[in-house]
Amino acid sequence: MDIFESIADRKIRAAREAGLFDGLPGSGKPIPDLHEERPPGWWATRLVRRERSILKVEELDRDVRAAMPRLWRLDSESNVRVQVRGLNEQIEDYNRVTTWEQRQPLDEEDIVEQWKQQRRSTGHVRTRRRW
């Protein structure tokens, strides 16, 4: 062992000897786009784009979490559907521009059914008034 071998080099060597790098995806294949010239700072641009996408997904997740309790307080099924469709539009807008992971739209029918069950369980079922 070389006295000047760094801790990182020792860990990499030990992992290689243990076979931890065997069979990794892309093993033995050329690095994609390695031959392409890139403008200076290309990696910073990619990093900023990725970080912005992460912030957007966190904001979207926060908006959806915050909207759910409000859905349960709505007074009609049609209002619930309108709100869920609005949230799904936000999700679709995010999915169109993200470089991060996609989000699945909300299941409108499932949420409406949960809303109905919640209304029944808490006694908030409104009966139609007859005049």
Number of domains in the chain: 1
**How many Cβ atoms are within 10 Å of 102's Cβ, its own excluded?**
11
Residue 105 tokens read as 């739209």
Is 81 inside a domain boundary? yes
C-alpha triplet 119, 114, 55: angle, nearest 5°:
120
Report how far apart, in Å, the C-alpha atoms of 31 and of each of 9, 13, 108 are. 22, 22, 43
Domain assignment present for residue 18? The answer is: no
Per-residue pLDDT tens digits for 35-92: 888 899 988 988 888 888 888 889 999 999 999 999 989 999 999 999 999 999 999 9
Provide the residue range defining the domain that includes 104. Answer: 57-122
* pTM reported for the whole predicted model: 0.59
Residues 92 and 73: their CA atoms lie apart, in Å, by 25
Segment 94-121 mean pLDDT = 89
Label residue 124 by pLDDT band (50, 70, 90): low
Say whether pLDDT at 26 is over 70: yes
pLDDT at 125 (0 to 100): 54
**Does residue 116 fall inside a structural domain?**
yes
Mean pLDDT, all residues of the chain: 86
Question: Which pLDDT band, with edges at 50, 70 and 90, does 121 fall under?
Answer: confident
